[in-house]
Amino acid sequence: MMHQLAADFLAALTEEQRTRAAHEFTDPRRLRWTYVPAPRPGVALLELGGRARKLAHRLLATALSRHAFAQAVTIMALEEVLDLDEGGHRNRHSDGYQLAVFGVPGSEAWSWRFEGHHLSVTATVAGGLTSVAPLFLGAHPAAVSYGGAAVIRPLPLEEELARTLLGELSRKQLDQAVVDPVAPPDILTGTAPYVDSAIDPLGVAARDLGPAARDLMCRLAEVYVDRLAPSLRTPLDRSGLSFAWAGSTVVGQGHYYRIQGPDLIIEYDNTQDAADHAHTVLRRPGADFGAELLPVHLSPRKP
């Protein structure tokens, strides 16, 4: 279905739009991703007719679970709220998201990326297998509230489960987990095309926790892994996880955490704009952009 939707999307474009949406698989921009407003390859939703726009959304949905797709479209809609908050000075738009296809859908190796402010989803297909990474979801504002209750909050579990996990740690475990009293201003992996190694310090290991805390760490990791469509998920190695926190543990103050395992790095940062601006990412060390799926002559990661 993924390759057919991508092909149908390209066919629904005008010739001029197709030149901006379709690129060679070897185009170096395939590995250049960002979650901030910036020039990027692809054609924007706001330029599309109804059929092409619907196909773009459906292609995005092939990579994500139903709940993660709902998070993604909510994040896009929040651009209108942010535009109001900023007085329209940056001309943000809920349709200011772009879709680019690299390679020919259904060929030996191809990929697509759906991207804009606070949303970046890259799927790479090779040898009949599909890898979705990096996968970034952010939100600003992180919550829109009324009467002390959140009306819209795209990333609630990502914060709440982490705080519940902190509450389950012993004093010794908490001292291991909190690796810095000051949170970094953003996710540490940034927009590097590949992440090869773990981020030090690791914090507290799952194997050193009691059953309740260990289960919470695994549930938190699964929040990120389960962003992928069920058919695209790989089993979570629960035994190799570690959890690190930085910044304040007080609600409403800047904070950051990461979960790491043999085949994943998860980061969450909410420090900007008085801790009302969340960034989250799922990375696959050594395997982002489908590096482990690609044949030798197509992978920039292999000699």
Instruction: Verify that 173 and 200 share a domain, yes or no.
Output: yes
What is the Cα Rg of the chain in Å?
19
Among 105, 140, 175, the domain boundary falls at 140
Query: Would residue 299 count as lying in a domain?
Result: no
Residue 300's pLDDT band, with cuts at 50, 70 and 90, is: confident
What span, in angstroms and rounded, lies between the C-alpha atoms of 109 and 89? 41
Given a cut of 80, whether residue 303 has pLDDT beyond it is no
- Judge residue 147's burial from the number of C-beta atoms within 10 Å of its C-beta, 0-12 exposed, 13-18 middle, 19 or more buried: exposed
Instruction: Verify that 83 and 133 share a domain, yes or no.
Output: yes
pLDDT tens by residue, 105-120: 999 999 999 999 999 9
pLDDT tens by residue, 180-218: 999 999 999 999 999 998 999 999 999 999 999 999 999
The residue written with tokens 């679970």 in the block is 65
The count of structural domains within the chain is 2
**In the chain, % of residues over pLDDT 70:** 99
Among 140, 167, 190, the domain boundary falls at 140
Which residue range forms the structural domain that includes residue 98?
A: 2-140
Instruction: Verify that 26 and 90 share a domain, yes or no.
Output: yes
Q: DSSP for the chain, please give it.
A: -HHHHHHHHHHTS-HHHHHHHEE-TT-GGGG---SSS---SSEEGGG--HHHHHHHHHHHHHHB-HHHHHHHHHHHHHHHHHHHHTTTTT---TT--EEEEES-TTSSEEEEEEEETTEEEEEEEETTEEEEEEEEEEESSS-EEETTEEEE-S-HHHHHHHHHHHHHS-HHHHHHHEEESS--SS-TTTT-S---SPPSP--EEGGGS-HHHHHHHHHHHHHHHTTB-GGG-----GGG-EEEEEE--STTS-EEEEEEETTEEEEEEE-HHHH--EEEEEE-TTTGGGTTTS-TTT-TT--
pLDDT of residue 107: 95
pLDDT of residue 25: 97
Among 140, 162, 180, the domain boundary falls at 140
What is the model's pTM?
0.96
What span, in angstroms and rounded, lies between the C-alpha atoms of 81 and 77? 8
Query: Would residue 290 count as lying in a domain?
Result: no
Query: What mean pLDDT is predicted for residues 270-276?
Result: 97
Instruction: Verify that 167 and 112 share a domain, yes or no.
Output: no
Given a cut of 70, whether residue 296 has pLDDT beyond it is no
What span, in angstroms and rounded, lies between the C-alpha atoms of 158 and 226? 12
Residue 299's pLDDT band, with cuts at 50, 70 and 90, is: confident
Residue 235's pLDDT band, with cuts at 50, 70 and 90, is: confident
Query: Would residue 130 count as lying in a domain?
Result: yes
Instruction: Verify that 133 and 162 share a domain, yes or no.
Output: no
pLDDT of residue 157: 98
Residue 302's pLDDT band, with cuts at 50, 70 and 90, is: low
pLDDT tens by residue, 6-63: 999 999 999 999 999 999 999 999 999 999 999 999 999 999 999 999 999 999 999 9
Given a cut of 80, whether residue 121 has pLDDT beyond it is yes
Alpha-carbon dihedral 72, 75, 79, 81, rounded to 10 degrees = 140
pLDDT tens by residue, 237-256: 888 999 999 999 999 999 99
Instruction: Verify that 134 and 172 share a domain, yes or no.
Output: no
Query: What mean pLDDT is predicted for residues 71-89?
Result: 97
pLDDT tens by residue, 154-164: 999 999 999 99
Instruction: Verify that 59 and 107 share a domain, yes or no.
Output: yes
